[in-house]
Structure formats: C-alpha cells, structure tokens
Structure 1
C-alpha cells in the first residue's frame, strides 16, 4: 500500500507543510481540540484514499476480504450473483448454498422473489450475528459436517452453490462430498474455489477449519471430477461465460459447473 495517505495524515496532525494549519497553530498552539480535529481530518482523508483506490465500487465484504490479506470465494460468489442468475435462470428457483458465511448468501437470495433458498454451514457459528442465528432457528440455515452424507433427499434442490468449503477437504472426503452435492441437486452444482497461490485463511482461523486450505489447480479439479464420475455442465459453463463477458465480470476464484447425478 502506498505510504502517501499515512504521511499526509501525519502532516495534518503535526501541522507539517500545510500553510493553513501553520497559521492556525500560530494562533492557537495550545488548543487540544485543534489536535483532535486534525487527527479526525487525517483519518477521513486516509479512508477516502483507500476507497478511491478500490474504484469506489467494491462491496463491504470485498473490502474486508482484501484487507484481511486473502480472497473470500463466498464474497466472490455474492459478486457473481447477477451473472449466475442470468446463466441459470429458472434453475435458481430452489437453491442450497454450502460453505462458511452461508448466512450472507442466504440473506441476499431471500430478497429475490420466486426463490427458495437454504444454507449449510460446515463450521460452528460461535460468532454469528443475530440475523444468522434467526435463520438457523427457522431451519433455513443448517450447521452440518459435509464430510458425511448430506441430510437431504435426492434432487432436493434445483441448484447447489459451494464456496470456501471444498478447499479444506482432503481427497479422502472429497470423493464422498462431491457426489453427495450432485445427488441432492437436479440442475447442477456450481463450485467456487481458490486459485493456487492465493491466501485463503488467516492463521487464527486454522483451528476453526481444522486444516489449512489446499488450493488446487484447475487441471487437478478436472481430473478429480472425472475420477468421481462427475461431468461438466457445458450448458451452464457456456451461459456463465457469456453473461460474464457481457457484464465485464472476471472471477477472482475458479468457477466450475457440474452436472447433477442422473
């Protein structure tokens, strides 16, 4: 990050080389309110600089994920939601999202008319919001370990969306979880996963996830899908790419489109 805003804030606070500040300090050198006010101005300028650097268009979730030093594929899924709606259309009528922060995805989709949505959180919700806890109480969001058979009947949902979940599973569990996701969907599975080299989880989060993220290449995933006898949803892939091009959307995560099991 550029040091420019920090030095600017410091100059404002210290009355550095800003003529107006120098003249004011000469008249009211001992005023503590002036120092506090200058610090506030410096902070505002710093925030404004960071916002302008982001282009002024990033969502709060995206900003948090970038400041945290990593990429959140769940936030990326939210950013891609208009593209997904265009690509999948009626298949978005009954959706299950699987992954951490599922409450944010569910809350967003609940705003849509003619859309039924549920969420599955693979990890504990110790620090969840009141709204998230309400979704759990209502049965809309369920906390469940995805390393075991999913608690749903076959083809319970038209579309399954997965983010920030499969990166933490070893192949031993992936070969069970992936077919399960394809089993409970009727019109496909969309997987958002990190690129190799991306930072996924902060060290403090490792105890929550149980293991560090294992980021795999696209070729690794394609081979693994084949081993699990899962086929690419070519129609979903093509429509997603067309909608992405039309909206000038470039995913920050890998996106895979899979067919449901027959």
Structure 2
C-alpha cells in the first residue's frame, strides 16, 4: 500500500510552532502579491519604529537604563546646569554616590572649574573601559555606603546621591545620611524616586540586594526633621527659579540639605 505524501507546510501548521509562517506559505501559491505586501509592510513598520527611537544604540540603552531603575542617576546629569545655577561656587568639588557614578563623574569633569569624585555602592565587575580608567585614576571607587565613608569631614563642597538611599532601610539611613552631611561643606543633594514610578528589573535585584523602598516627599521631610537634617530653603528657591527658567521638570524628587556646621 502506497503512503500518501504529507504536505510539509500542513505539518508545520498542525504542529503549532509557526502558524503565521505556515499560513503565508499556503496562500502564496494563490496570491504571491500578498506575501510581498506583508514583507514590505513589516520592513516599513520596523523602519518607522527605529526612526522614532532615534535610530541609535545609545538611545535604546538610555531607555533600558530608565526602565532598569537608574532613572535618578540619569536625572542628575540632566540637572547639572540647574545645580550650577543654584549652588554656584559650591559645585567646585563634588562627590556623587550611586550606581553608574562613572557617567556622572565624567559629565562633571567636563564642566569648567569642577572637580568630581564618585562612590559606586555596588560592584564594578561589569564596568566599561571608560569607568575602569576613572577607577585607576582614583576618581571613582566602590564602597559600601551603609558604613563610614573613607573621607575626612568637609572633604567636598557638595555631595550628590541618587538611586542609592531608596535601597536603604531607616536603620542604615540613620548612618548614611549623617555621613553625607559630615563629608560635605556646603550641602547634600538627594535624588530619590517617586513611589510607583521607578522600578528595578528582576535580573538586577541580586545586585541591589532588595527592591527599592520608594518614599513620598512627606516621608522624607518627616525623616529629615527627626534626624535633625535641615533643608536649605535658600538653595531650594534658587533651584526652582533656575528650573522654571529652563522649563526643567525633574523626573525624581530632589531635596537640598544643609551640611553640619
């Protein structure tokens, strides 16, 4: 008894692995223009999406970082011109603490009359060549910010922290924030995430150790009062004025604290 030949495209469709491809293949004999039209349409759609995203790998990586939870560190870079207007000469010697601090330090070092250093709270095993170069030169170091910082009092005119305090419990905040105030001479700037907006990908949780605990502005203000950390109202006013002039709206909460006298 002869066996009836099996249509390979039918087997593919019946198997359920690639039904869309199978349906195109089965219809191509009766309507080849349909297949061509679908292919051309798909290419146009991909091209449009690529154009809308800016067509560059850097833009794609930027979006990935925003979704990955380093939004406030990126926000620091956007806010540098506003910070310079608000702090003036206090931007002459800056320490930044937070993930991807190499990018912030690189940006600050390009500013005129500005020295910059960074502390990365997490490992630097996957750092790129530019970041490793900053580490070799001593501009960036890895350190656990839950403990004493390896700097003398008032070592920096301004300390900026982003995407780091959100991962600390109040127990460690009680140690870290006073340390930031101790090593700064003119103030501490905190970039904190808004509740419900920033998140960290599941794949990055082992690096951060725990999910972010994003607090409201009222929570932070109460905490500052309880820990005797005073907001710098004069700088807040200057920052808001400079932001309004440049139509700048921060995507993170920004707090300006006074250093210890």
State the TM-score, normalizing by the size of structure 2: 0.80
SS at match of 1:252: coil
1:210-246 C-alpha deviation (Å, 9 max, x unpaired): 1110000111111111121110011111110000111
Alpha-carbon distance between aligned partners in 2 of 1:154 and 1:95, rounded to the nearest angstrom: 14
Residue of structure 1 in register with 2:6 after alignment: none
Residues 1:221 and 2:220 aligned together: yes
Residue of structure 2 in register with 1:65 after alignment: 65
Alpha-carbon distance between aligned partners in 2 of 1:118 and 1:235, rounded to the nearest angstrom: 25
Alpha-carbon distance between aligned partners in 1 of 2:227 and 2:150, rounded to the nearest angstrom: 20
1:63-118 C-alpha deviation (Å, 9 max, x unpaired): 3334x365610011111111111111111000000000100000001111211100
Residue of structure 2 in register with 1:240 after alignment: 239
Shift in alpha-carbon separation, 1:39–1:59, aligned structure 2, 3 A: closer
Residue of structure 2 in register with 1:8 after alignment: none
SS at match of 2:135: helix
Q: What RMSD over aligned residues (CA atoms) do the two structures have, in Å?
A: 2.5
Alpha-carbon distance between aligned partners in 1 of 2:176 and 2:112, rounded to the nearest angstrom: 30
On the 8 A contact 2:71/2:198 being kept in 1, the answer is no
- Give the unaligned 5+ runs of structure 2: 1-23, 25-31
Report 1:5-20 matches (<5 A): none
Would you say how many aligned residue pairs link Structure 1 and Structure 2? 228
Alpha-carbon distance between aligned partners in 2 of 1:247 and 1:121, rounded to the nearest angstrom: 30
Structure 1 ranges of 4+ moved more than 2 A: 37-44, 49-52, 58-66, 68-71
Shift in alpha-carbon separation, 1:157–1:214, aligned structure 2, 3 A: same
| Structure with greater Cα Rg | 2
Residue of structure 2 in register with 1:46 after alignment: 49
Residues 1:154 and 2:116 aligned together: no
Residues 1:166 and 2:165 aligned together: yes
Report 1:55-204 matches (<5 A): 62-66=62-66, 68=67, 72-204=71-203
State the TM-score, normalizing by the size of structure 1: 0.80
- Give the unaligned 5+ runs of structure 1: 1-13, 15-24, 30-34, 53-57
